[in-house]
A = this chain, B = another copy of it.
Amino acid sequence: MTTPTKADRENGSRFLPKFDDNGLLTAVIVDHETQQVLMVGFMDQEAIDQTLTTKLAHFHSRSRGKLWQKGETSGNVLRVQDILVDCDQDALVIKCEASGPTCHTGVTSCMYRRLEDGQLTPIDT
């Protein structure tokens, strides 16, 4: 296969994920009903394949250097409802139904603080 061009990625109907030098792209997880961003993770080809096959969000852990399924220990899985792809195919927005709190700290979203005047203040998620 020839290397996809910018036009191939932007205009075509072919899914041609563009990975960075570490073989990763960004996956933004949003709640499929509220559109709230729940978490941001990274996927390699393996994580994408597993996500598509199982319809449960999988990621590549940069710190552990391996595949993980969100909720594999906590049970708080993310059931994939819809996947959107951006113009240059290096970012995905994955709309999910969350079966529990997404953040490992026990709250709905990992974005539980607002940056205000250089300080973080808690918000309800």
Contacts and interface: CB of A to CB of B under 8 A. Distances in A.
A83 B121 CA distance: 11
Interface residues of A, number: 41
A92 B39 CA distance: 10
B37 A93 contact: yes
A46 interface: no
Contacts of A114: 82-85
A37 B26 contact: no
Contacts of A85: 111, 113-115, 120
A49 to B, nearest CB: 11
A78 B26 CA distance: 21
Interface string A74-107: 0000000011111110111100000000011100
B28 A123 contact: no
A2 interface: no
A120 B37 contact: no
